[in-house]
Amino acid sequence: MTGADDSASGRRRPSWDEYFLQLAVQAATRSTCLRRQVGAVLVRDKRILATGYNGAPRGVAHCLDIGCLREQLGIPSGERQELCRAIHAEQNAVIQAAIHGVAIEGATLYTTLHPCVLCAKILINCGVREIHYVEGYPDELSRALLDEAGVELIREELSSAER
């Protein structure tokens, strides 16, 4: 990713992809997960449709407050996602769009982490066409389903200053 330089001031302006990924990084700061903070932003036509971060459902105690069930059970990353109090960032973004009546067909997802298979299936059925992500995730079925559905996956690099 490369941003544009403002030749008059020498200031570097982020590209649209950098901008939306930076917003996903910012959304991740709201996460209540003790293991991994993930943020997601759904965008269409350079317009933000919805954002999300991973954390416990509304009205349920957060892992920050009561501890991590997955840690307590010794469950490794990428396995047994159903044994977790959190809703994933991508799921929360889709839920926020639904609550507010925002159609996401044809949207692009910007996320700090490659979607797991559960999120991949949701994103495919919602009509997300492109996913920009920063960090990989050990879920080959997710990648295979997204590929089969024709969802474009683009791994992005963020500088340490942008994270």
d(CA 29, CA 15): 22
Check 90, 130, 152, 157 and give the catalytic one: 90
Terminal Cα-to-Cα distance of the chain (whole angstroms): 14
Alpha helices in 13-132 (DSSP H): 16-28, 63-66, 69-73, 89-99, 117-126
90 is catalytic: yes
Write out the catalytic residue numbers: 90
